[in-house]
């Protein structure tokens, strides 16, 4: 998505109650807390599908990240938005389940601030993605041990929110993978 698109996001309080709506870029410029989601798709080998963000994205361009991520439109559920963006970015869809959420704040490139209540959503698929080149320019499947090694050796190659999910919150995902199924 380019900078001229006016996309509204939901500004929220720390309990995820919507308190206002604002254009996405403005919310990132002002560093206001807003709702987001991060989708993680695993295959039957327990490998995670990563995407490399396209160059020309308004922040974090060219960095590796989770399968897809975005912001639900005001009034849109997290799961509906996740299905929509998974199809738009990666060219496929699958069953999804919301696992947990967390809040983070980080300074980004282009003088932007991510302050998000990020809903982590998980799914399973063995489909090869059909990338929307405006969103993602590459993909790879990695197991978590390989991924953690890559992050420790090449931290600057990954988005901030994805590093937080893998390094600070992965135990919640691992527990789900070991005990549940979609």
Which domains does the chain show, CATH number per domain? 8-176 (3.90.79.10)
The larger pLDDT score, comparing residue 66 to residue 7, is at: 66
**pLDDT one-digit tens code per residue, 17-70:** 999 999 999 999 999 999 999 999 999 999 999 999 999 888 888 999 999 999
Strands 34-42 and 18-23: unpaired
Helix (H) or strand (E) holding 153, with range, is: helix 144-153
Distance CA 159, CA 87 (A): 21
Average pLDDT of 64-83? 96
**pLDDT one-digit tens code per residue, 127-138:** 999 999 999 999
Identify the CA nearest to 25 among candidates 10, 54, 3.
Answer: 3
Distance CA 66, CA 56 (A): 18
Catalytic site residue 95? no
Say whether pLDDT at 178 is over 90: no
Tokens 């006016």 sit at which residue?
6
From the CB of residue 50, how many other CB atoms can be counted at a distance below 10 Å? 21
Annotated active-site residue in 89, 114, 116, 135:
116
Annotated active-site residue in 68, 69, 89, 135:
69
Strands 113-124 and 136-142: unpaired
Catalytic site residue 68? no
């Amino acid at each position: 998505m380019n900078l001229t698109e006016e996309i509204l996001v939901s500004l929220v309080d720390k309990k995820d109650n919507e308190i206002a709506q604002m254009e996405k870029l403005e919310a990132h410029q002002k560093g206001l807390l807003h709702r987001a989601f991060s989708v993680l798709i695993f295959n039957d080998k327990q490998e995670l599908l990563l995407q490399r963000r396209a160059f020309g994205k308004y922040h974090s361009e060219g960095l590796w990240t989770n399968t897809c991520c975005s912001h639900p439109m005001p009034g849109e559920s997290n799961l509906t938005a996740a299905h929509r963006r998974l199809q738009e970015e990666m060219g496929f869809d699958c069953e999804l389940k919301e696992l947990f959420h967390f809040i983070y704040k980080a300074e980004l490139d282009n003088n932007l601030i991510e302050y998000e209540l990020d809903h982590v959503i998980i799914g399973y698929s063995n489909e090869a993605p059909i990338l929307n080149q405006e969103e993602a320019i590459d993909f790879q499947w990695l197991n978590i041990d390989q991924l953690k090694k890559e992050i420790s050796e090449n931290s600057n190659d990954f988005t901030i929110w994805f590093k937080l999910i893998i390094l600070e919150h992965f135990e919640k995902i691992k527990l789900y993978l070991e005990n549940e199924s979609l």
